[in-house]
């Protein structure tokens, strides 16, 4: 359990992080602040900045000759939206009857503050206990300012650094907000793959009163769309839900009532499990398009491949830590969106995502319960021990 002094320290770090207007990919000075905290704890820090993105890798102990416990996270946040809709200043931590408000409090500055304080507590207790000092291990903290954006200059740069230096993580904790209703009720041990498709159906424009002189792309696309939506991908696996396709945008027309458009544009996303590969998904969709023999342009982006972490000592320790702090056993899940774990799995023996509840992430008046922030810190501290 955290004492009052530790709780105050947790809120101090959290409040300082919220102050930084770190809208992706601008860290707004937040990584300099964190770097200062970690250096004071005895961490060695290097920066791997690229283009507009700032990246920090901090290490405690001998990472080349000991098991590495790693924490990964991001300081960047999404834009606040309509500022007048916020009840409180989004960049000032506000405590209202035990509810903490601020942009990024849940996703994921609160989680970063929790882990920093957990490290403070752990390192101080280790330094004060000669028996603990005999245990050889190391801690690594990896932070980026480009997770909410394109992500290409963030964690992938850190992963490249680890590979070039032959550094492999024994276990990696990604502090994403994975809890659903109560702290620690869900942890992620994998993620689905994600494919984005941009499609243009090409017809022939013309006057709407003379359809025989035109070829309406909306009409052309209708049976194709129905067939795509009727695809039965799979029934899921023991670890993953069924693959799903969702349309995100369909657009056509020139904005008037009497013109048949030339083109229709459609965007859709497929979240897929290990029954499929990018190529198998791509081929299934393109086979349907070719069957209808309609002129089209298509582009693909495979932004993530599905992965599942080994369920070993780290996962077991996580479950025990959550159970000891909260009294509940977490659900192991692979649902939700993509995260930077998709990059870090290549350099990690075990990888788990666990953080604050996600009911209010990316929303106006983003908030968490103060008690959840405290409990998460206790979970992280126990896990480190």
Closest of 45, 33, 99, 108 to residue 76, by C-alpha: 108
CA distance 176 to 186: 11
Residues marked active site are found at 76, 147
- Whether omega before 281 lies within 30 degrees of 0, making that bond cis, reads no
Compute the C-alpha angle 54/60/64, nearest 5°.
95
CA distance 350 to 259: 57
- Which pLDDT value is given to residue 135? 59
Are 379 and 322 within 8 A, CB to CB? yes
CA distance 103 to 146: 16
CA torsion, points 227, 230, 233, 234, in degrees to nearest 10?
Answer: -160
CA distance 11 to 96: 13
CA distance 122 to 38: 13
CA distance 113 to 370: 12
- Which pLDDT value is given to residue 65? 83
Task: Please tell me the total number of residues recorded for the chain in this structure.
Answer: 385
Decide: pTM greater than 0.85. Answer: yes
CA distance 127 to 163: 31
Are 174 and 73 within 8 A, CB to CB? yes
User: Residue 138: exposed, middle, or buried by beta-carbon count in 10 A (0-12, 13-18, 19+)?
Assistant: middle
Tokens of 68: 């590495």
- Which pLDDT value is given to residue 4? 97
Are 123 and 45 within 8 A, CB to CB? no
Are 289 and 298 within 8 A, CB to CB? yes
In terms of DSSP H, where are the helices of the chain? 4-19, 30-41, 110-127, 130-133, 155-164, 217-229, 278-292, 313-326, 341-344, 370-384
Tokens of 70: 């790693």
CA distance 296 to 40: 59
Q: What is the pLDDT along the chain (385 residues), one digit of tens a residue?
A: 899 999 999 999 999 999 999 999 999 999 999 999 999 999 999 999 999 999 999 999 998 888 999 999 999 999 999 999 999 999 999 999 999 999 999 999 999 999 999 999 999 988 876 555 555 789 999 999 999 998 899 999 999 999 999 999 999 999 999 999 999 999 999 999 999 999 999 999 999 999 999 999 999 999 999 999 999 999 999 999 999 999 999 999 999 999 999 999 999 999 999 999 999 999 999 999 999 999 999 999 999 999 998 889 999 999 999 999 999 999 999 998 889 999 999 999 999 999 999 999 999 999 999 999 999 999 999 999 9
CA 144 to mean position of chain CA atoms: 12
- Which pLDDT value is given to residue 132? 54
Tokens of 160: 């490249």
- Which pLDDT value is given to residue 367? 98
CA distance 151 to 144: 9
For 284-323, the three-class secondary structure string (H helix, E strand, C coil) is HHHHHHHHHCCCEEEEEEEEECCEECCCCHHHHHHHHHHH
Which pairs with CB-CB distance under 8 Å and at least 24 residues apart come from 149-153?
A: 149/24, 149/25, 149/76, 150/25, 151/340, 153/25, 153/50, 153/51, 153/52, 153/53, 153/55
Biggest CA–CA distance in the chain, Å, is 89
Closest of 177, 45, 55, 186 to residue 111, by C-alpha: 177
């Amino acid at each position: 359990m955290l004492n009052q002094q530790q709780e105050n320290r947790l809120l101090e770090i959290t409040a300082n992080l919220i102050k930084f207007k770190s809208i992706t990919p601008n860290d707004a000075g937040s990584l300099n602040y964190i770097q200062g905290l970690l250096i004071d704890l005895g961490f060695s820090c290097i920066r791997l900045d690229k283009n507009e993105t700032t990246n920090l890798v901090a290490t405690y102990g001998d990472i080349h000759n000991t098991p590495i416990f790693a924490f990964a996270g991001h300081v960047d946040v999404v834009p606040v939206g309509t500022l007048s809709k916020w009840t409180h200043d989004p960049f000032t931590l506000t405590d209202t009857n035990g509810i903490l408000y601020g942009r990024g409090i849940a996703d994921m500055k609160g989680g970063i503050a929790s882990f920093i304080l957990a490290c403070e507590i752990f390192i101080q207790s280790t330094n004060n206990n000669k028996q603990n000092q005999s245990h050889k291990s190391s801690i690594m903290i990896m932070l980026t300012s480009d997770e909410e954006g394109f992500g290409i200059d963030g964690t992938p740069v850190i992963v490249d650094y680890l590979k070039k230096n032959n550094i492999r993580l024994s276990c990696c904790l990604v502090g994403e907000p994975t809890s659903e209703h109560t702290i620690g009720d869900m942890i992620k041990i994998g993620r689905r793959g994600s494919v984005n498709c941009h499609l243009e159906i090409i017809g022939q424009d013309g006057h709407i009163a003379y359809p025989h002189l035109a070829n309406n792309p909306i009409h052309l696309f209708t049976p194709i769309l129905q067939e795509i939506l009727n695809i039965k991908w799979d029934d899921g696996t023991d670890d993953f839900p069924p693959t799903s396709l969702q349309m995100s945008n369909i657009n056509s027309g020139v904005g008037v009532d009497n013109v048949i458009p030339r083109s229709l544009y459609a965007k859709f996303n497929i979240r897929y499990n290990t029954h499929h590969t990018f190529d198998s998904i791509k081929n299934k969709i393109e086979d349907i398009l070719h069957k209808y023999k309609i002129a089209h342009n298509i582009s693909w982006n495979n932004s993530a491949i599905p992965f599942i972490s080994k369920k070993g000592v780290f996962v077991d320790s996580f479950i025990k830590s959550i159970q000891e702090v909260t009294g509940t056993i977490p659900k192991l899940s692979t649902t939700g969106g993509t995260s930077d774990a998709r990059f870090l799995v290549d350099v990690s023996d075990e990888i788990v995502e666990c953080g604050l509840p996600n009911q209010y992430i990316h929303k106006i008046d983003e908030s968490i319960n103060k008690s959840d922030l405290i409990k998460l810190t206790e979970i992280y501290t126990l896990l480190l021990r």
